[in-house]
Structure 1
Amino acid sequence: MNLEFFKAPLILQLALGGGYLGYLAAYAGIRDHHKQIDVAFLTVVFGLAATLYYSFAESRTGQIPAIILAVGFAVIVGLAWRRIGRPLVRGALKRGRLSYADDDPSVTTTIFADTRHDVSQVNVVLDDGRELRCDNTANFKDAAIAPFIYGADGSIALYVTHACRLQPDGTQSEDPQVDVRNSEWGDNLTIIPAGRVRHVDIRLKKRG
């Protein structure tokens, strides 16, 4: 770690530290494709919010509270950009027929960055033809780990309630998985490496 950062003026430390936290809040889960130049400039953008708020608050609250408030403000700005600003800009570009694309690295990144819908059902087809399914993710909403996780590397974690396999005669057998939830031992979460996944079917349900 470069300790020269701690010798920099306070306002610069605040801009970089608060700005980076704001950046993390704004792009959590969708920043794997960002290059160093993207990280640097986005940190500067959110850092401006921190420094502007600090300059406003410092004379009113004192230095230490102003620093804390400024960093918190940068994070709030990042969250606001993720929740409101980013969708508004993308919607405006589409309505203006300027661009129908986005900067997300994959379709799955776009889907799972959406917070307006829940995944209600999941069916994963493996490379050997087997299918693993969770019929109702809501049954696991209080589980220790989220009912369904799609990793950035393509790996998948789900609670398997049914396993299906194609038989030699062309029929498909379905085996309900018993004891997925166990009051004594806990919930049985299945993790599937990316290399084993052929394709994934999901149902999305709008949040009430």
Structure 2
Amino acid sequence: MTKEAVELALNQSWSTLLLVACGYVAYYIANVGIRDHHKLADVTFSILVFAFVSAFAFYFGRWVLNLSLVVSSGITFLFAMAAGASWRVLGRPRFERMLRASRISHSDDLPSAWMALHGERCVATQLVVQLKDGTWLMCDNLSRFQASPNGPCVLGAKGDILMYVTDKLTDKQSKRGVGFVPVADPIDASWGHEITYIPADQIARVDLRRRI
């Protein structure tokens, strides 16, 4: 094989590997938090679509701008990340609204309403959780725990929750008409930040207040 043929083969192998990697990172960013229900075909073809889009950036850098392989590869990878983020933030919401407006579909293609919470970009301000035993747990100001570990809260894909509890209301207190009672501050200067884990099978209701 000539030197040119070897170089061409190496470039093709590298470009294939690069585009597959770009396709996956774009897919991951575009679907982070809402991927559990995806089937193998969904994952495969989503990666191929993002890889196809990234190929334009790669070959534009190589052939039109005449950039080196390293530089054009770096630009392509960053482009793929931006493409995935753009689809998640801008593309998907507008595409779903277009489908609803045209009466093609009113489904958002998510397996549950719980998963829809993960796609909203609104700022959450307050979280209240009712347990199956009637107890209510509340974080009255989520922004206070923004810088805390796992803050301000975590809504797990399986329905479980991590939250900083600031107020509590038992079932007996609720029946007597008592309001929420403050608990010990989750942030202690000596002991640190105390977060509460709530398994999904213990949760009866979740109220999440968000600022538009």
Same fold flag (TM > 0.5) = yes
Identity across the alignment (%): 31
Matches of 2:169 and 2:22 in 1, distance apart? 50
Counterpart code for 2:153: F
Aligned ranges 1:56-135 → 2 under 5 Å: 56-59=60-63, 60-115=66-121, 117-135=122-140
- Residue 14 of structure 2 corresponds to residue 14 of structure 1: no
Aligned length: 199
For the pair shown, which has the larger CA radius of gyration, 1 or 2?
A: 2
Quick one: which of 184, 188, 195 aligns to 1:189?
A: 195
Question: Matched residue of 2:170: which SS?
Answer: strand
Counterpart code for 1:54: F
- 1:153 Cα offset (Å): 0.9
**RMSD between aligned residues:** 1.9
Question: Matched residue of 2:137: which SS?
Answer: strand
More helix by share: 2
Deviations 1:2-34 (A, max 9, x none): xxxx9x822221221111111111111111111
Matches of 1:58 and 1:34 in 2, distance apart? 34
Unpaired segments ≥5 residues, structure 1: 1-5
Quick one: which of 13, 31, 36 aligns to 1:32?
A: 36
Match of 1:3 in 2: none
Whether the 8 Å contact between 2:133 and 2:171 is mirrored in structure 1 is: no
Match of 2:51 in 1: 47
Matches of 1:168 and 1:39 in 2, distance apart? 49
Unpaired segments ≥5 residues, structure 2: 1-9
- 1:172 Cα offset (Å): 5.0
Quick one: which of 142, 145, 149 aligns to 2:147?
A: 142
Matches of 2:75 and 2:157 in 1, distance apart? 32
Q: 1:172 to 1:40 in 2, by over 3 A?
A: same
> Which of 136-145 and 161-170 deviates more?
161-170
TM-score, normalised by the number of residues in structure 2: 0.87
Matches of 1:184 and 1:61 in 2, distance apart? 55
Matches of 2:96 and 2:172 in 1, distance apart? 47
